[in-house]
Chains A and B, each alone.
Chain A
């Protein structure tokens, strides 16, 4: 398992990450949403695909909507306690009546929005939300770090939606950003029973199996599986690095006092020993900062794509179901002797649905890949930069110490007399 550049006798120390059970951080699997899409109109959707390339290199110059999520405040009611976030929107888009909106939303509201978006566009890749809970470490829902992490992820979610060529023009999205009270809008939606029926059909379809998945989706499926594994591994490795760094930090904290204490018993050596203690303390601080970066920047970025991988799997299943629906009905058409006209219409509609679903996914797929590449590249570059900065700062600390020790004894005396 060890890479060829690592000496053989150390490969044993390479971690077997599968043993790290305590690093499992996953939500419950989201259930299948309604399979029948309500596209705005086929033609408008086709037009939208062409915008993919332009949209991908979006800078602030082409951005016409700015959304921020901040100011978490806890709300207490008779039944429950929850956090409300402030969502501020500034936009020049014509479909918005005003140019600025401020609303308060809770996590459930975001879940609702995402559900509606997925429902209306079942084979588009809708950016995931942060998880409901974190299993590891029994983190409280109202823990400050947890809330902050969640806030950042919700902020990213809304911005990702606003960057999506199709999703950002969703009516639900607009309502979410603008309506003071979301509850009346939340009442609308597919009923529980119809969603149940959809799930049953989906299960039946998966039991039956797909006749043949188009080649490109076979490749996509394989990629999604592999990507999911790799990004999960990256997440785990990074968490492990943070853990090791924290333990290193602890030991460093014990190390510098030994120099200070020794300095107390020495005369000539007191000054260099105190200097050493100072250096170790400074390196200690730099290590803390590095750990903060890993935890606040790299881990969230990786984790986001762990969740994306799950979203991709779900989207692929939905596309399969749409195809399965079509196949089962078209088999029924071939078998039936009566009512051919009505059934044929239904089958044609389903055939269109399959084509739309496939095109939607194909178009969104390359947009998603580019977005993934950009996001992860930026996170990795930032991490590499942070590491360089860490070593540069530590280097400066030790060089200063060395310089102070290499002065002539007479200069040192003068320095001591002066201080």
Chain B
């Protein structure tokens, strides 16, 4: 196993071969849930996804210095992406991986491109840009090695999720991201996605009233808000609990110090006190690893906190397309009405032309003909537009609904797994506590 890698080749292979969605809770998977090794809970779908053909990992992280866009010196972290062809591994050959370095900002660029290009897909989120929900010990410093390590794992998780998605995994830009170190950025910008990205952002925050949104999307949007609110509350509460628990454990270190000093002045009690003191020190020190592991649980929850945003975006996109369809339909209706009025002379709707006709007399037949012709053209365009938008809307609804279902199942499985991981961590913590205090008791009995 490569150092620093979050997954092994064997695990990748097994996951790639698992066409069925097995419940991770049956205990078949021997992924060490609570270890630093693997927090990957990516499900692999049926069908040929990129992940089946290629082994992907984010193997390392390194600090670099360089000049940025405004020619100022800056320090940043780069991540090593390694890929190997799956068939070579299956054949037993062990080729050296292809690799390239990418910064976090490049991952962001990739994701933004995906968001714009596949608006009906719940696009997997990136790990957080800055450390949030920290409890006191964790620094909020992006350069902190623990933070960088957890980010490495998160970035790998992102790539694995994208590469195993039935639709996203076929994207060419994704493939280039993984294989072409230089010139990738230019290729992305060439797609022209940036323009769409700006209008997307505007649309997402705009307020408009949709008449007939698909109820399922309305409900999902509501759910995404709930998911966001609940996960963030949970994360906040968990961080505070972690902070307090840290305090409890560390204070016991003082017992260690006092026992040690006290043992020096006692005869019969000395040995018992001294060794009990060592156990108290061990107890105080044990909390660091315990809480470090818990951070992985927090990361799993954070992923779904960020997923909630992606889910919401899909729902909003539906509202937007539905709204545009409604606008286009309405426009077409009003134009048809105008044509009818022009043709029959019966005014049903208010128009300035109608008013001026009444005030200044009807227009000449040639003018009327010209206007009718224009209207017919506009109506023809309008009908095309409605047809397009209806198709777009339907496509979005269909694709979006399928992906939201896929997301829901993935979410239920992943989060259940996360809760189980948490329980396992708690069990481990309790076992350590039992051991330390049993040892301490033995020492006290020797007093």
Residue positions of A touching B, CB distance < 8 A:
1-3, 5-7, 10, 13-15, 17, 223, 226-227, 230, 233-234, 237, 240-241, 244-245, 247-248, 250-252, 254-255, 258-259, 261-262, 265, 268-269, 272-273, 275-276, 279, 373, 376-377, 380-381, 384-385, 387-388, 390-392, 394-395, 398-399, 401-402, 405-406, 408-409
Chain A positions within 8 Å of B256 at CB level? 3, 5-6
Chain A positions within 8 Å of B23 at CB level? 408-409
A230 with B258: CB separation less than 8 A: yes
Tell me the bound Cα distance from A392 to B251 in angstroms: 22
A14 with B257: CB separation less than 8 A: yes
- CB-nearest residue of chain B relative to A385? B441
Chain B positions within 8 Å of A237 at CB level? 251, 254-255, 258
Judge whether B426 is part of the interface by a CB distance below 8 angstroms.
yes
Q: Which of A1, A245, A255 is B241 in contact with, Cβ under 8 Å? A: A255
Known: A251-B244, A258-B237, A395-B434. A14 touches B254 (CB 8 A): yes
Report how many residues on chain B are interfacial, defined by Cβ distance under 8 Å: 66
> Interface code B430-446, partner A: CB below 8 Å = 1, 0 otherwise?
11011001101100110
Chain B positions within 8 Å of A268 at CB level? 412, 416
Least distance between B320 CB and chain A CB atoms (Å): 25
Tell me the bound Cα distance from A255 to B245 in angstroms: 13
Chain B positions within 8 Å of A7 at CB level? 285, 288
Tell me the bound Cα distance from A385 to B443 in angstroms: 12
Known: A3-B260, A261-B230, A395-B431. A269 touches B415 (CB 8 A): yes
Tell me the chain B residues, 407-443 only, with Cβ under 8 Å from chain A: 411-412, 415-416, 419-420, 422-424, 426-427, 430-431, 433-434, 437-438, 440-441
Tell me the chain B residues, 25-68 only, with Cβ under 8 Å from chain A: 25-27
B268 with A384: CB separation less than 8 A: no
* 22 A-B pairs (CB sep. < 8 Å): A3-B257, A5-B278, A15-B254, A230-B265, A234-B255, A237-B254, A237-B255, A248-B247, A251-B241, A251-B244, A258-B230, A261-B230, A272-B419, A273-B419, A381-B441, A391-B431, A392-B434, A395-B430, A398-B430, A402-B423, A402-B427, A406-B26
A3 with B281: CB separation less than 8 A: yes
Chain B positions within 8 Å of A259 at CB level? 234
Known: A1-B257, A10-B288, A406-B27. A377 touches B447 (CB 8 A): yes
Chain A positions within 8 Å of B447 at CB level? 373, 376-377, 380
Tell me the bound Cα distance from A227 to B433 in angstroms: 29
Q: Which of A6, A240, A245, A279 is B281 in contact with, Cβ under 8 Å? A: A6
- CB-nearest residue of chain A relative to B236? A258
Tell me the bound Cα distance from A272 to B411 in angstroms: 13
A394 with B265: CB separation less than 8 A: no
Least distance between A395 CB and chain B CB atoms (Å): 4
Known: A226-B265, A276-B419. A234 touches B258 (CB 8 A): yes
B277 with A14: CB separation less than 8 A: no
A17 with B427: CB separation less than 8 A: no
Q: Which of A13, A279, A381 is B444 in contact with, Cβ under 8 Å? A: A381
Q: Which of A227, A244, A261, A394 is B244 in contact with, Cβ under 8 Å? A: A244
Q: Which of A234, A276, A380 is B422 in contact with, Cβ under 8 Å? A: A276
Chain A positions within 8 Å of B241 at CB level? 248, 251-252, 255
Judge whether B253 is part of the interface by a CB distance below 8 angstroms.
yes
Q: How many A-B residue pairs have CB under 8 A?
A: 180
Tell me the bound Cα distance from A276 to B422 in angstroms: 9
> Interface code B174-192, partner A: CB below 8 Å = 1, 0 otherwise?
0000000000000000000
Q: Which of B265, B284, B438 is A227 in contact with, Cβ under 8 Å? A: B265
Known: A230-B261, A398-B430. A262 touches B234 (CB 8 A): yes
Q: Which of B262, B282, B288 is A5 in contact with, Cβ under 8 Å? A: B282
Tell me the bound Cα distance from A226 to B285 in angstroms: 27
Least distance between A237 CB and chain B CB atoms (Å): 4
Q: Which of A5, A401, A405 is B285 in contact with, Cβ under 8 Å? A: A5
Q: Which of A244, A265, A406, A408 is B247 in contact with, Cβ under 8 Å? A: A244
Chain A positions within 8 Å of B262 at CB level? 227, 230, 234
Judge whether B377 is part of the interface by a CB distance below 8 angstroms.
no
A233 with B423: CB separation less than 8 A: no
A391 with B423: CB separation less than 8 A: no
Tell me the bound Cα distance from A399 to B441 in angstroms: 24
Chain A positions within 8 Å of B238 at CB level? 255
- CB-nearest residue of chain B relative to A262? B230
B285 with A391: CB separation less than 8 A: no
Chain B positions within 8 Å of A250 at CB level? 244
Least distance between A119 CB and chain B CB atoms (Å): 31
Tell me the bound Cα distance from A66 to B240 in angstroms: 49
Q: Which of B272, B419, B430 is A392 in contact with, Cβ under 8 Å? A: B430
Least distance between B30 CB and chain A CB atoms (Å): 14
Tell me the bound Cα distance from A265 to B244 in angstroms: 28
- CB-nearest residue of chain A relative to B276? A380
Least distance between A98 CB and chain B CB atoms (Å): 40
Tell me the bound Cα distance from A254 to B245 in angstroms: 14
Least distance between A243 CB and chain B CB atoms (Å): 9
